Amino acid sequence: MTQKELEDILDELLKLPDETEWVEFKEAKAGFDFKELGQYFSALSNEANLKGKNCAWLVFGVVDKTHAVVGSQYRPLRKDLDSLKYEVAKQTTGGVTFVEIFDVVHPNGRVVMFQIPPAIRGVPTAWQGHYYGRDGESLVPLNLGELEQIRQQSRSEDWSAGIVEGATIADLDLAAIKRARDEFKKKNTSLAAEVDGWDDATFLNKAKVCIRGKITRAAIILLGKPESEVMLSPAKAQITWILKDEKGIDKDYAHFHPPLLLNSEAVFGKIRNLTYRYLKKSALFPDEVSRYDPWVIREALHNCIAHQDYSLQGRINVVEQDDSLLFTNRGSFLPKSVEAVIQQDSPPDVYRNQFLVNAMVGLNMIDTIGSGIKRMFETQRKRLFPMPDFDLTEENRIKVKITGKVLDDNYAAVLLTQTELSLPTIISLDRVQKHYPISDDEAKALRTVKLIEGRKPNFVVSAKIAALTDTKAEYIKHRSLDKQHYKGLVVEYLKKFEVAEKSDIEEFMLDKLSESLTVKQKRDFVRNLLQEMRREGTIRPDKARRGAKWGLANPPSEAGA
C-alpha cells in the first residue's frame, strides 16, 4: 500500500467507536510483551472471522481511549518487524502469519499497523494452544459458542469452490490451460472436436474449473500462474520435495507452486525411481524392477492435492529416502479408516474439496470410482513389496509411506505362492513383517492358514512358505512340457472310463500335480487343461448324457470302425 492509502485507513480506524472487537489501539512502548502480542493476534483474527471482516487491525502508537496518536518505538528497525511473522507463526494455529506490517509516518509520531487475517473458516486461530477473543475492549478466552461457530463453518462450505475476488483468466498459466484441454479431451473423447472450438472461458466452465467465468480457488491451485498463489493467502498451494540420506539428513529440496496440474509432474520428475535388485534369485523373482510404480506415485501425490485441508495453511510434502517415499498433507482422513475404504471399494460419501475433486476428475488427474487406495495396495501386492502405510495418528495430518523394496523374503514368498489370499489378510500379514501389533482375531486367522509363527507379540511370517517358492518356480518353468504328460493322463483316464465328470477328472489329477500349488490352483489348472484339450479337438463334452461330462473326441470304438 502507498503511504497515502495507509494514512486514509488509519484515519478511518481512528473514527471507530471505542468498543470495536476487530480493532485494537495500543501505545506500545519499546518493550511491549511478546506473549500479549500473540494473544491479541489470536483474538483479533477470531473476531474478524466472527464479524465477517476481511481483516483485523492492531495499531501501535495510539492511545486506546482517546485515539490520540502519540507514536511508538516498538521495534524501530524494519528487519525486526519483519522477523515477527516467523516468530508469531511458530506459535499460532497452522503457522498463521500477518498479511502485512506497516510503518506509517504521522505528524504526531510513528505508527505501526498490523493487518491481521481473519481465522480461516472452520479453524479458530490459537496462540500457544489457547483460543482468544474480545469482550468489548477486554482480551478474554474465546467462549465455547464462538469457538464452535467458527469450527462449523468448514462443514457447510466447500473452500475449493470459493471465488477468488479480482482474479481473471490472465492469472492462469497458458501452458497449464493447454495441458488441461488435452487431458479433458482424453477423458471426454466424444467432445474432442468440439473442445477445440471453445474459447478459454467456455472450456474452463465446461471442465468445471471455473464458475460462470469466475476464477475459483481450485482454478488457481491447478492452473494458476506461480505468482497467483498469493490470491489464496493465507492458504498455501505448495508441494515441497525433500531428499534425505540414510541418516535422515536433508540432501536436497525443491518447492513447487501453481499450476499444480503441471508441477505435480515436475515433482514426479524429481523422485529418483532407481532400479531395485531382488536379493532372492528365484526364477519367479524378477532380477530388477523400478522401486516405485509410477501410477502409485501419481495417485498418492494427486490424492494429497485433492484432499488437502487448505484452510490449515500447510503444504504438501514428499520426503524421499533410499527405499521409501513419504507423502504428507494436512487434514483429517474423512473415511475414518483405510480398512473401510478397501472393504467398501466405492466413492466416499463426503469429499473435503468436492469442487476441486470434480475438476481433477475432469482433467484426468484422479478417478471418482473410489478404488484408488485399493489399487495402490493391489499394485504393491503384485510387485511383492510391502503394503502402503497410512499413518492417521496425528491430528489433521495424513501420512502415506510407500516402500520400494522387499522387507521380508518370507512375506514376498507368500504373495508369490498364495495368490488366492484376500487383501485384508495380506494387510494383516504385512503388519507382521513390519513388527506392528495385530489383533487376536487377525493372529488366529493367520495361524489357521499357517502364515505366521511365534508367540504374541513376536509373530513372524512363516518360513515354511518360502521353502515352496523354488519348487513352484521350477514347476512353472517346466509346466509347458509337463502339460503333455498331464494331457496324456486325461486321455488314458477317458479311454478306461469312456466319459467322466469334471470333478472326477479333478480328483484323479490332484495328487499328481505339484505340492507347491494350493488345491484351488490345482483345480484351476485342471479346468484350463480340459478347455485347452477341447480347443485342440482331443476331448469334447458328452451331450448324450445328462450333466457336465467329458469324453474323447475320437474314442477307440469310433477310430476302429
Q: What's the pLDDT tens digit per position in 121-180?
A: 778 889 988 999 998 778 999 998 888 888 877 666 789 999 999 999 999 999 999 999
Residue 141 shares a structural domain with residue 250? no
Residue 73 shares a structural domain with residue 8? yes
d(CA 500, CA 549): 5
Residue 229 to residues 103, 167, 259, 365, 395, Cα–Cα distance (Å)? 25, 11, 9, 20, 26
Given a cut of 50, is residue 240 above it in pLDDT?
A: yes
Quick check: is 63 in a domain? yes
> Residue 173: exposed, middle, or buried by beta-carbon count in 10 A (0-12, 13-18, 19+)?
buried
The CA R_g of the chain, rounded to the nearest whole Å, is 33
Residue 7 shares a structural domain with residue 121? yes
End-to-end CA distance of the chain: 106
Residue 538 shares a structural domain with residue 493? yes
Q: What's the pLDDT tens digit per position in 303-340?
A: 999 999 998 889 999 999 989 999 999 998 877 678 87
Q: Which residue do the cell numbers 488427474 mark?
A: 365
Quick check: is 162 in a domain? no
Quick check: is 163 in a domain? no
Q: Quote the pLDDT of residue 336.
A: 67
Question: Could you tell me if 134 and 140 are in contact, meaning their C-beta atoms sit under 8 angstroms apart?
Answer: yes
Between 559 and 9, residue with greater pLDDT:
9
pLDDT bracket for residue 558 (50, 70, 90): low
Question: Could you tell me if 251 and 320 are in contact, meaning their C-beta atoms sit under 8 angstroms apart?
Answer: no
Q: What's the pLDDT tens digit per position in 333-366?
A: 877 678 878 877 656 666 789 899 999 999 999 8
Between 495 and 240, residue with greater pLDDT:
240
Q: Quote the pLDDT of residue 84.
A: 83
Residue 133 shares a structural domain with residue 17? yes
Task: Specify the CATH number for the domain of residue 314.
Answer: 3.30.565.60
Residue 101 shares a structural domain with residue 186? no
Residue 300 shares a structural domain with residue 383? yes
Q: How many domains does the chain have?
A: 5
Residue 282 shares a structural domain with residue 359? yes
Residue 299 shares a structural domain with residue 447? no
Residue 494 shares a structural domain with residue 548? yes
**Which residue range(s) make up the domain with 188?**
169-232
Quick check: is 385 in a domain? yes
Quick check: is 513 in a domain? yes
pTM for the whole thing? 0.60
Q: What's the pLDDT tens digit per position in 489-530?
A: 899 899 888 889 888 898 888 878 766 567 888 888 898 899
Quick check: is 207 in a domain? yes
Residue 143 shares a structural domain with residue 225? no
- The arithmetic mean of pLDDT across residues 381-400, rounded, is 92
Which among 426, 443, 470 is the end of a domain? 470
pLDDT bracket for residue 181 (50, 70, 90): very high
Task: Specify the CATH number for the domain of residue 492.
Answer: 1.10.10
Quick check: is 164 in a domain? no
Which among 157, 187, 218 is the end of a domain? 157
Q: Quote the pLDDT of residue 370.
A: 61
Across the chain, what does the average pLDDT equal? Answer: 86
Q: Quote the pLDDT of residue 345.
A: 60
d(CA 477, CA 195): 51
Residue 370 shares a structural domain with residue 393? yes
Which among 409, 440, 455 is the end of a domain? 409
Q: What's the pLDDT tens digit per position in 440-499?
A: 999 999 999 899 988 888 899 987 765 555 444 444 444 444 678 889 889 989 988 888
- The arithmetic mean of pLDDT across residues 407-428, rounded, is 90
Given a cut of 50, is residue 14 above it in pLDDT?
A: yes
Quick check: is 529 in a domain? yes
Task: Specify the CATH number for the domain of residue 13.
Answer: 3.30.950.30
